[in-house]
Homo-oligomer: A and B are copies of this chain.
Amino acid sequence: MIITSPPYADQRKDTYGGISVDKYVEWFLPISQELLRVLKPTGTFILNIKERVLNGERSTYVIELILEMKKQGWLWTEEFIWHKRNCYPGKWPNRFRDAWERLLQFNKTKQFNMYQEAVMIPMGDWAKARLRKLSDTDRIRDTSKAGSGFGKNISNWIGRELAYPTNVLHLATECGNKGHSAAFPEELPSWFIKLFTKEYDIVMDPFMGSGTTVFAAQKLRRNSIGIEIFADYYNTVKKSLKRVELYLLEEETVYG
């Protein structure tokens, strides 16, 4: 699987170059061409992106990109919505706060791997009632410790009554990360890694950045490849990876 969040147009100028709106499609197409080349036929490519507002209008480079990638041979299988619960604040006369991003799913073939059972969620009124009784702090602490998306207490519910999710994801943007700007919260790549890969599969992020995808893959025992143009990010990730290995209580290992 490939999952990435490339620099958005005219965004992150201080770190990345800041690709302009009108050059964006032309800039990304050679990259998606290479991704198409290296992805396995059963693999999936998840592209996290959102168009910015320019002169009071939504730009069209994202939808143009979809059309062009289809010409390259990609199948546009699905569009997931990431609903950002804590979106950026702001007030304008002509629009509300932007609280969602696109998660475009592309495939090479219709026979791609999908493990839906891995992302099932507890459901039913009894579960809601029980979960409400857990304190907020407890729930938060346990989910972040486990890293799997389910906390210690909540994991007890697994196997009781599960339902499949929909194509709308409710996740908060990460708040606690200091020093680096994470493109997406770790839950996001985790969710897709569980959904589209099994253990020892390979996960790749061609715009690694602060390494969210790589860390998520390691915790879920997947091999991973991260590509990053900036040495600072590369070095930080390399250092932090050690810590993840310690967390897993094993020596440096290549899975599979």
A93 within 8 A of B: yes
Question: With an 8 A cutoff between CB atoms, is A67 at the interface?
Answer: yes
Q: Which of A132-175 contact B (CB under 8 A)?
A: 146-147, 152, 164-168
A97 in contact with B164 given A63-B67, A66-B63, A67-B63 (CB within 8 Å): yes
Interface size class on chain A is 35 or more
A238 on the B face (CB < 8 A): no
Contact check, A76 vs B57: say whether CB atoms are below 8 A apart. Answer: yes
Q: B56 near A89 (CB under 8 angstroms)?
A: no
**Are A14 and B58 in touch, CB under 8 angstroms?**
no
* A77 contacts B60, C-beta separation under 8 Å: no
A164 touches B110 (CB 8 A): no
Question: Which B residues lie within 8 Å of A70 (CB)?
Answer: 60
In the bound complex, do residue A116 and residue B89 qualify as a contact, i.e. CB atoms below 8 Å apart?
Answer: no
A114 and B91 form a contact (CB under 8 A): no
Q: Does A83 contact B (CB under 8 A)?
A: yes
Give chain B nearest CB distance to A43 CB in angstroms: 14
A170 vs B1: C-alpha distance in the bound complex, in angstroms?
Answer: 31
| Residue A64 at the chain B interface, CB threshold 8 Å | yes
The CA of A75 and the CA of B164, in the complex, are separated in Å by 38
Interface residues of A in 79-138 (CB under 8 A from B): 79, 81, 83, 87, 89, 91, 93-100, 110, 112, 114, 116
Question: B-contacting residues of A (Cβ < 8 Å)?
Answer: 14, 55-58, 60, 63-64, 66-67, 70, 75-79, 81, 83, 87, 89, 91, 93-100, 110, 112, 114, 116, 146-147, 152, 164-168, 181
**Extra A-B contacts (13), CB below 8 Å, given A58-B77, A77-B95, A96-B166:** A56-B77, A57-B77, A58-B76, A64-B67, A87-B166, A89-B152, A94-B112, A96-B116, A96-B164, A97-B167, A98-B166, A98-B167, A100-B166
Closest 8 CB pairs of A and B: A99-B166, A63-B63, A56-B110, A99-B168, A97-B166, A96-B167, A58-B76, A57-B75
